[in-house]
Structures are given as C-alpha cells and as structure tokens.
Amino acid sequence: MQIKLRFLGAAQNVTGSSHLVEANGSMILVDCGLYQERQLKARNWEAFGVPPEKVNAVLLTHAHLDHCGLLPKLVRDGFKGKIYCTAATAEIAQIILLDSAKIQEEDAEFKRKRHEREGRKGPYPEVPLYTTADAEACFPLFVPVNYKQPVEIAEGIEASFCDAGHVLGSSIIKVKIRQDEQQRTILFSGDVGRPHRPILRDPVLVDEADYILVESTYGDRVHQGPEDTKKMIAEVINSTKKAGGNIIVPSFALERSQEVMYYINELLLEDAIPHLKVFLDSPMAASITKVFQKHRELYDEEMTELMRHNESPFDFPGLKMVGTSDESKAINHIKGTVMVIAGSGMCTGGRVKHHLVNNISGPQNTIMFVGYQAIGTLGRRIVDGEKEVRILGQEYPVKARVARINGFSAHADKEELFEWLSGLKKPPKKLFVVHGEPESAHHFGDYISQKTGWQVVVPAYRDEVILD
C-alpha cells in the first residue's frame, strides 16, 4: 500500500483544519479551514501546502469556519474539483462563507483606511483574503451526500459520511482506499459532538478503521451534565423577570442559538418559566434556523417527537425572528422582560453590541453567556468581571448580572472521546490526535495509549506520514 497523509492544519492547534490524503494518483483534501487563533492568522495568507489545481476533491466534515473557511481561497487559487458534504452542511456553509467574505472585505477596507491615515503599510496586503465573488464561486462545486451511502471520490477511493452529532449536517468521514487486492480505511472524526444533545442524533460509533484522526479540543477536560444547563437557564429567566429586567444572550449563529431556543421551548412546555418575548436578533442565525427547519431527517427522536406534536423550538409562542436593523433597535422600546439572542457570540461585532449598550448598566438586567469567550474579546472582559467596558466607542459601567451557563459545548470531552473510540472492535494501526492545543492533544494521546495500548501520534503542522 502506498498512501501519504499530510497534516496541513489543526495539528497541535484548534483551527485551520485541513488534511491531505494522497493515494492512487489522487489528492483528496479533508476540510479546508480558516485559522482563527490570533497568532496563527498569518497562515491564512500563505500558499496552500499543495497546489490547489492538483487537488481532486474536498471532503467537508461540517460548516464551521475553521473547517470550511478557506474554500473560497482554494477555489480562487485553482481548485476545480467537487466538494462533498451533506446537504445541510452545504447550505449552512454557503451562509457562513458569504458572511466571512463580507467580514474579510470590511476588514481590508478598514485597514486600508487606517494605514492611509497613518501613512504606513501593515504586514499583510490590504486586500480581502477573499471576496463575496470568491465565496459564490464555491457554491456550484458542492455535491450533497447522504449519511451511510458510500460515494466514489476518485479511482479506488470511496468516502462514507455518518452523524458526528456536533452541528447540523456534521459528519465523521470514513475514507476507503483500494490498491490491487488490498484495502485500507482512514477515519476522520471531524469535530465529535456529545451524546444526548438537543436536536441532533448522537455521534455514530465506528467499529473498524486502520487509521484514525481524532479531534482533541477538550481532550483534557470533562464537561458538566445537560440537566444543570436547563436549570440554570430557568433560574436566570425567572429571577430576571422578577427583577423586571431583560436578558441579553450573546450567541453563535450555528447550533448554539438553536439550542438556546430548544431549551426555552422545553422550559415553556414544562411550565418552568413564564411566557416572555424572545427575539432571535441575528439574520445569520435566522437563515441557519431555516436550514434546521428544512432538514427534519437529521433530528433525533425527541426533536422529531416535538415536531410531530407541533411544538417546534423554532416557532414557540413569543418567539420572533428579527429582520431589519430598525426592527432590532425597536426592541429597546418594549416594556416588560424580553430575551434577546444576538450575535456575535463573543460580543466582537453584530447586533448584540447595541443591546449591551442599552442593558449592561441596568442592575435589573442579565447578560447570559452560553459559549466560550476567547481572551481579548469584549465577552471575555465582561465575564472576567470588569467594572467598566468600552462598547462602540464609549465606556459603560457593568451593573447588570453576568451569568455563565455551562454545559453547552458542542465538542465531546475526554471521556466522551474515549467512549467514541471504544466503538472500535480491533485496534487501529495508528491513532493521530489532531485539532487540539498541544497540552490537550498530548494529554489525550497519553490517556488513550495508556488505556488501550494503541500506537498514538500527535502530528505537527505540515508533518507527512506514509501509511502502509
């Protein structure tokens, strides 16, 4: 057998996922993600590890930017093959790539103006990393695939997708390579979700693979249970309502916003919270929610049951999807408690900023965080308890209650990843630990090799291995 595997991203770091399989004279790229860590962003501007025109196909695990965000650049630089993924992933990726292109264009314009004013040049070109037109050029290349239906990608190379339970449409991908009489399988975990999450089915256990690439975002942590999450949300809503305040929820557009709506719907059905007006104030989250509503075939049993009883979490009494920015501003004039779910998730941009301006200094209000807040973001400063924060160019005292709801993670923790790997009936030839900070990846690698005796490798950026 002659298979080469190259680690072109998310090797000892979390973003920029990209792995290349070379076999049978073909090159298959699994994911083509954007780097989002501040210290690694320069890599987005580097040439790809391989000439894009030589790549035959892309297999896309899911629509998060750190997995699909460099596709527009790949296509602009010469890739002409197909991009295989589930239909839901293709639809969400299109929404996310258009938004990303807009941000790239705005960033370039902002930098150009600033440098002009200051009479200097920055370290990177003042052109967008890619444009809206570059993003749109990817759309015709998407080929939707169904779960559990193997597709022939290139000569002697077949891929099958199955539920990863991470975000809607997300996949674990198994690549089967035939050479002469022999055959090898490489399993790409993508991002592994957690069992018993709202809306989505659990990650599928795979019973056999020769080589495995497993993510390790939380390879050194154990999460809190789901019950606490719902109880904590109920407590925030009930006490804020009693105080006569509003609840502002900075949230990511994909999965997190829909999960928050899911829990509120459940709490309403259980009569655990009073009726209140809930606004989903993010055009991107609203578009993505439409994809959720369309793809009922991806729901788990509980969600299917809710839909059967006309109790959809995307359409409960009191819920409103906000359209224009005037409608968004009008929310400020509503009397009585309202809940606003708005982007961005770390308060770095989007409509959540003007809701924070209007609510952060009122002690009756609550800012409810449901996601990770990276260092250096406005969200992190608020969570860290700063007494005063700068929003849209002005200082505001933080008087509102700041609540952190845990247990929302879309990534399996150390134990859940081990559980997932335990589906294998026989040991793989090798396990590669990717998509994790160095400590997390090494910790998880050691943990697995101690528990199973498997051969474990934590590859570095641009490492290459020959698989036999």
Terminal Cα-to-Cα distance of the chain (whole angstroms)? 5
CB 432 within 8 A of CB 438: no
The residue among 33 and 52 lying less far from Zn ion, judged by its C-beta, is 33
The residue among 128 and 193 lying less far from Zn ion, judged by its C-beta, is 193
The residue among 14 and 378 lying less far from Zn ion, judged by its C-beta, is 14
The residue among 191 and 281 lying less far from Zn ion, judged by its C-beta, is 191
| Contact call for residue 259 and Zn ion (CB under 5 A) | no
Beta bridge partners of 277: 338
The stretch among 75-83, 186-194, 326-334, 400-408 that binds Zn ion (CB under 5 A) is 186-194
Instruction: For the CB of residue 61, give the shortest distance to Zn ion in the complex, in Å.
Output: 8
Taking every pair of Cα atoms in the chain, the longest distance, rounded to a whole number of angstroms, is 72
Taking phi over 0 as left and psi of -120 to 50 as alpha, with beta for the rest, 313 belongs to: alpha
The stretch among 44-52, 185-193, 196-204, 416-424 that binds Zn ion (CB under 5 A) is 185-193
Instruction: For the CB of residue 292, give the shortest distance to Zn ion in the complex, in Å.
Output: 16
Instruction: For the CB of residue 191, give the shortest distance to Zn ion in the complex, in Å.
Output: 4
Residue type, 88: A
* Residues 416-435: x where in contact with Zn ion by CB under 5 A, - otherwise, as a string: --------------------
Instruction: For the CB of residue 33, give the shortest distance to Zn ion in the complex, in Å.
Output: 9
The residue among 96 and 268 lying less far from Zn ion, judged by its C-beta, is 96
| Contact call for residue 256 and Zn ion (CB under 5 A) | no
The stretch among 93-101, 113-121, 189-197, 292-300 that binds Zn ion (CB under 5 A) is 189-197
| Contact call for residue 31 and Zn ion (CB under 5 A) | no
* Residues 135-164: x where in contact with Zn ion by CB under 5 A, - otherwise, as a string: ------------------------------
Instruction: For the CB of residue 44, give the shortest distance to Zn ion in the complex, in Å.
Output: 17
Instruction: For the CB of residue 349, give the shortest distance to Zn ion in the complex, in Å.
Output: 20
The residue among 64 and 194 lying less far from Zn ion, judged by its C-beta, is 64
| Contact call for residue 64 and Zn ion (CB under 5 A) | yes
Instruction: For the CB of residue 166, give the shortest distance to Zn ion in the complex, in Å.
Output: 6
The residue among 169 and 245 lying less far from Zn ion, judged by its C-beta, is 169
| Contact call for residue 191 and Zn ion (CB under 5 A) | yes
Instruction: For the CB of residue 62, give the shortest distance to Zn ion in the complex, in Å.
Output: 6
Alpha-carbon span 347 to 74, nearest angstrom: 29
Chain positions contacting Zn ion, by CB under 5 A? 64, 191
